[in-house]
């Protein structure tokens, strides 16, 4: 079994890389990939430990890159990437991340102030790489009096807040994030320049009206190597549809839990949903050579 979508404290996960390795070993996984958001920090940490003493399987160097398509932020997973090449490209800077997200956080706090939404005045992003959207949503949902300002879905679901408020030009919470993003083609070119393959992440996490049209518009760019079919946001009928889509369009398939630890407590390493494992067979046709 495999899990090719895992987050650590180098982005918005709660587990250190060695903890991920221990859990992957306990789950009996054969291959994993740590795919932090715009960060390869976890791999820098792994250089200081003997990975084989924690995990007997293999690690595929990976990263989840922010990109933009049709004016909306999406994510592209890069696998089998050369870490030094990605690092030298200058888009995985922790310093730039903190500067950008603290700027966004100040804007979101100003929105809350203007809308009489209760929030903590001392919010900031320091340790770890949590996004402004995550920090703001977590904070405002601590105050019951704020619930009246949001729909049930947005109140209960961070992804709904991010996709339908923060990415919605008609919402007061809108942040113009795409100015900081590469296009899908630019992102895929970066991944390929680093010797890797580019996969569209979690299609059904984007709150689109027509997912098939959205997917076709991305695939038509001829930039992707594959699609993430197995994912904790994908019901099995959606997974099966994507597997067939990949087969029909000569694209590779990937899959991962999108494990974040405490941020997504119902998501387990090695599972795309409760009890459903991610099969090695989808990885076999495109298994990279530069394994850790």
Predicted local distance difference test score (pLDDT) of residue 101:
87
Please give the pLDDT value at position 177: 80
Residue 237 shares a structural domain with residue 197 = yes
Residues 6+ apart with CB under 8 A from 264: 232, 258
Same-domain status, 99 and 166: yes
How far apart (Å, rounded) are the C-alpha atoms in residues 148 and 116? 11
Q: Do 22 and 145 fall within a single domain?
A: no
**Domain identity same for 188 and 88:** yes
Q: Output DSSP code: residue 98.
A: H
15 and 149 together in one domain: no
Same domain membership, residue 190 and residue 88: yes
Mean pLDDT in the chain? 93
Residue 229 placed within a domain: yes
Are residue 145 and residue 63 in the same domain, yes or no?
no
- The residues pairing with 32 across neighbouring beta strands, listed in sequence order, are 3, 59
Of 18-32, 185-199, 272-286, give the lowest mean pLDDT range.
Answer: 272-286
Contact call for residues 178 and 72 (beta carbons, < 8 A): yes
Say if residue 230 is in the same domain as residue 245: yes
Instruction: Report if residue 291 sits inside a domain.
Output: no
- Tell me how far apart the alpha carbons of residues 48 and 152 are, in angstroms, rounded to a whole number: 45
Residue 124 has pLDDT above 70, yes or no: yes
- Of 142, 160, 178, the position where a domain reaches its end is 178
Shared domain check, 51 and 195: yes
Same domain membership, residue 207 and residue 78: yes
Q: Which CATH number belongs to the domain containing residue 266 in this structure?
A: 3.20.20.140
Mean pLDDT over residues 63-79, rounded?
A: 94
Per the structure, the count of domains in the chain is: 2
| Residues sharing a CB contact under 8 Å with residue 62, sequence separation 6 or more, in sequence order | 4, 33, 34, 35, 77, 78, 79, 80, 81, 196
pLDDT (mean) for 162-177: 90
What pTM was computed for the model? 0.86
Section 9-17 average pLDDT = 91
Give me the domain span that covers residue 123: 94-178
On whether the CB atoms of residues 30 and 57 are closer than 8 A, the answer is yes
Residues 263, 197 share a domain: yes
């Amino acid at each position: 079994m495999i899990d090719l979508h895992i987050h650590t404290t180098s982005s918005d996960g709660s587990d250190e890389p060695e903890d991920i390795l221990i859990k992957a070993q306990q789950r009996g996984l054969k291959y994993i990939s740590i795919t932090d958001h715009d960060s390869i920090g976890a791999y820098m940490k792994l250089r200081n430990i003997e990975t084989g003493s924690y995990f007997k399987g293999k690690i595929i160097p990976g990263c989840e890159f922010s990109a933009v398509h049709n004016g909306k932020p999406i994510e592209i997973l890069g696998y089998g990437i050369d870490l030094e090449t990605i690092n030298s490209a200058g888009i995985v800077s922790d310093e730039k991340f903190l500067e950008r997200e603290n700027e966004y956080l100040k804007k979101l706090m100003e929105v809350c102030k203007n809308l009489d939404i209760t929030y903590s005045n001392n919010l900031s992003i320091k340790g770890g790489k949590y996004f402004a959207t995550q920090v703001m949503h977590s904070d405002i949902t601590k105050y019951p009096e704020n619930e009246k300002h949001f729909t049930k879905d947005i109140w209960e679901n961070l992804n709904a807040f991010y996709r339908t408020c923060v990415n919605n030009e008609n919402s007061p919470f809108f942040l113009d994030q795409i100015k900081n993003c590469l296009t899908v083609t630019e992102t895929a070119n970066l991944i390929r320049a680093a010797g890797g393959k580019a996969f569209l992440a979690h299609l059904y996490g984007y709150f689109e009206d027509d997912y098939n049209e959205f997917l076709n518009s991305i695939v038509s760019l001829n930039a992707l190597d594959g699609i993430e079919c197995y994912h904790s946001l994908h019901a099995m009928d959606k997974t099966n549809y994507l597997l067939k889509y990949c087969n029909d369009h000569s694209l590779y398939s990937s899959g991962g839990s999108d494990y974040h630890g405490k941020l997504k407590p119902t998501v387990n390493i090695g599972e795309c949903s409760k009890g459903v494992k991610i099969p090695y067979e989808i990885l076999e046709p495109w298994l990279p050579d530069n394994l850790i």
